[in-house]
Structure 1
Amino acid sequence: MFDFWTGAEELPIWGFLVRAAIVYVYVFTLVKILGQRSMGTISPIDFIFGVIIGDVIGEPLSSGDIPLGGPMAAATLIGAIHVGLSLVALKTPRFRRVIEDEPIILIEKGKILHNAMAKAKVTLESLLMDMRLRSAADLNEIDYAVLEPNGQISVIKKSDYQSLTPKDMVQKPKPKGYPTVLIEDGRVIHANLKKIGTLSWLKEQLKNLGVKDEKELFLLTVDEGGQFYFSKRIK
């Protein structure tokens, strides 16, 4: 009856399905404990942790004769160590430098630091590629380029080449803020509408936008500045 946990040479299909469900719930819980992390900003330690956990608990999903208890216990211990290191790093800046790399300046005041590039093992071709990806192909515009702990290169342009802001032009544009979805796939999202206005107000806004019925729209949003965006449904 508990072959899905203890393992068996001829584990039935339902046993693999139960194992998959257990592993999914375990990984989901572990991710929730670790907190939200963007894949683009994942640290090397997080990457190593993910690879190890995947290897430890992935094998029982493909081999039915391997008991599930051992890998789950090992994965739990590894997860606890990782969470513990993260908590210690948050409270102890000195220890944080042990498990997290410091940013490395690759370009300083427009000058490429060859020694820093050699230390970070960044080639000139790789640096130039990152500059192009960040719309900074002209090195004359670069003030600083920094290799961040997550492996990405951030760029700070010289003041003369930075984008002009409304503040620089002594202007005060309306705030846009976070857009609120009012209509999705032809349906009014009443929970969001209550925070902004009434149904009659929405119908008036639709009339001003030249929309006869909300069912015509695939999406309607409004930002904090009162700016609407809408896209009609494709028939």
Structure 2
Amino acid sequence: MIFPYFDIIVRSVAVYFFMTIALRIFGKKELSQLNTADIILILLISNSVQNAMVGPDTSLLGGLVAALVLFVINFAIKKLTSRYKTLGNILLDKPEVLIHDGKLDFKALSKLDISDAELKEAMREHGIEYFKNVRLAMLEIDGTISIISEDQNKLKQTHYKRKHNHKNFRK
């Protein structure tokens, strides 16, 4: 082989893109809801894909090459998505509107598995009691719910971090 670590580079690139696609499929809301089981899952995934990246090379240099490849890919993806908006639209999640001018978007809430109770909790954290007082509520790309109220004086700089995966939203 021309370059002894070429195999590690190819394997690391494949694992990076697999994990990116998997996170895209499972959605941004999962990232903001990490509990003990999720952390264990992340640790187990990292352990399982480590062997897929380095193969039989378990040396320090092999591990460092795999880590370097992941950092380089991540850096390159960030630069490319900021430069080419079309690529960014394909690879990156977008914020989702949950409430607009007091009207709930039931389709988006259902698709994102955001419950009535969870949305009300986010509103309370922003000091808002009724849906009609919400000018705009968004599920941001990091999984937080940001809310802008009708009354600009009530606008708070807080973010509601999703903690639970409620599935009891009623239309």
TM-score bucket (shorter structure) = 0.5 to 0.7
Who is 2:116 aligned against?
A: 124
Would the alpha carbon gap of residues 137 and 68 (structure 1) be closer, same or farther in structure 2, given more than 3 Å must change?
Answer: farther
Match of 1:72 among 60, 64, 71: 64
SS of 2:114's partner is coil
Q: Find out whether 1:106 has 2:133 as its counterpart.
A: no
Who is 1:137 aligned against?
A: 129
2-structure distance, mates of 1:137, 1:108 = 15
Where structure 2 has 5 or more consecutive residues not aligned to the other structure, the ranges are 1-30, 32-41, 51-57, 155-171
Who is 1:86 aligned against?
A: 78
What is the root-mean-square deviation in Å for CA atoms of aligned residues? 2.6
SS of 2:97's partner is strand
When normalised by structure 1's length, the TM-score is: 0.40
SS of 2:137's partner is strand
**1:164-220 superposed Cα distances (whole Å, 9 cap, x missing partner):** 8xxxxxxxxxxxxxxxxxxxxxxxxxxxxxxxxxxxxxxxxxxxxxxxxxxxxxxxx
2-structure distance, mates of 1:137, 1:153 = 15
Kept after mapping to 2: 8 A contact 1:107/1:144: yes
Kept after mapping to 2: 8 A contact 1:104/1:120: no
Match of 1:162 among 148, 152, 156: 152
Task: Quote the offset at 1:139 in angstroms.
Answer: 2.3
- What is the identity, as a one-letter code, of the residue corresponding to 1:123? S
- Higher RCO (C-alpha under 8 Å, 6+ residues apart): 2
Aligned length in residues: 105
Task: Quote the offset at 1:68 in angstroms.
Answer: 1.4
When normalised by structure 2's length, the TM-score is: 0.54
Q: Percent identity?
A: 23
Kept after mapping to 2: 8 A contact 1:107/1:145: yes
1-structure distance, mates of 2:63, 2:129 = 48
- What is the identity, as a one-letter code, of the residue corresponding to 2:123? M
Task: Quote the offset at 1:128 in angstroms.
Answer: 1.2
Kept after mapping to 2: 8 A contact 1:110/1:142: yes
Kept after mapping to 1: 8 A contact 2:100/2:137: yes
Structure of higher CA gyration radius = 1
SS of 2:141's partner is coil
Kept after mapping to 1: 8 A contact 2:103/2:132: no
- What is the identity, as a one-letter code, of the residue corresponding to 1:162? Q
2-structure distance, mates of 1:69, 1:155 = 47
Superposed structure 1 runs of 4+ greater than 2 Å apart = 137-140
Who is 1:150 aligned against?
A: 142
Task: Quote the offset at 1:99 in angstroms.
Answer: 2.0
Kept after mapping to 1: 8 A contact 2:101/2:134: yes
SS of 1:90's partner is helix
